[in-house]
Amino acid sequence: MIVNKKTVSNPKDGKSYKYGEEIKYEITVTNDGNVTLYNVNVSDKLTGDKWTIKELTPGETSKVFKTSYKVTEKDVLAGSVVNTATATSDDILDKITPEVVPGKQEENVEAAISSVLVEKKAKEGTYKVGNTVTYEIKVINNGNVTVSGIKVIDELTGDKWTIDNLKPGEEKIFTTKYVIKKADEDRGYVKNTVKVEGLGSNGKDVSVNGESTIKVEKTEVVTKPTTGDDTQLILWATLAITCGGIIIYLTSKIRRKEEK
- The confidence score (pLDDT) of residue 218 equals 87
What is the chain's length? 260
Residue pair 11/21 in contact by the 8 Å Cβ criterion: yes
Residue pair 222/232 in contact by the 8 Å Cβ criterion: no
The CA distance from 76 to 89, in Å, is 35
Dihedral sign of CA atoms 140, 144, 146, 147 in order: negative
pLDDT tens, position by position, 33-73: 898 999 999 999 999 999 999 999 999 999 999 999 999 99
- The confidence score (pLDDT) of residue 243 equals 61
Q: Which residues of the chain have pLDDT under 50?
A: none
pTM for the predicted model, two decimal places: 0.73
On the 0-12 / 13-18 / 19+ scale of CB atoms within 10 A, 42 is buried
pLDDT tens, position by position, 139-157: 999 999 999 999 999 999 9
Q: Which of 22, 206, 40 is nearest to 107 (CA)?
A: 22
- The confidence score (pLDDT) of residue 96 equals 56
Please give the domain boundaries of the chain with CATH numbers for all domains: 2-108 (2.60.40.10), 116-215 (2.60.40.10)
* SS3 label, residue 187: helix
- The confidence score (pLDDT) of residue 154 equals 97
- The confidence score (pLDDT) of residue 124 equals 79
- The confidence score (pLDDT) of residue 240 equals 59
- The confidence score (pLDDT) of residue 207 equals 97
The CA distance from 116 to 9, in Å, is 30
The CA distance from 69 to 8, in Å, is 12
- Other C-beta atoms closer than 10 Å to the C-beta of 18 total 15
Q: Which of 94, 102, 90 is nearest to 54 (CA)?
A: 90
Q: Helices (DSSP H) in the chain: which residue ranges?
A: 73-78, 182-187, 230-259
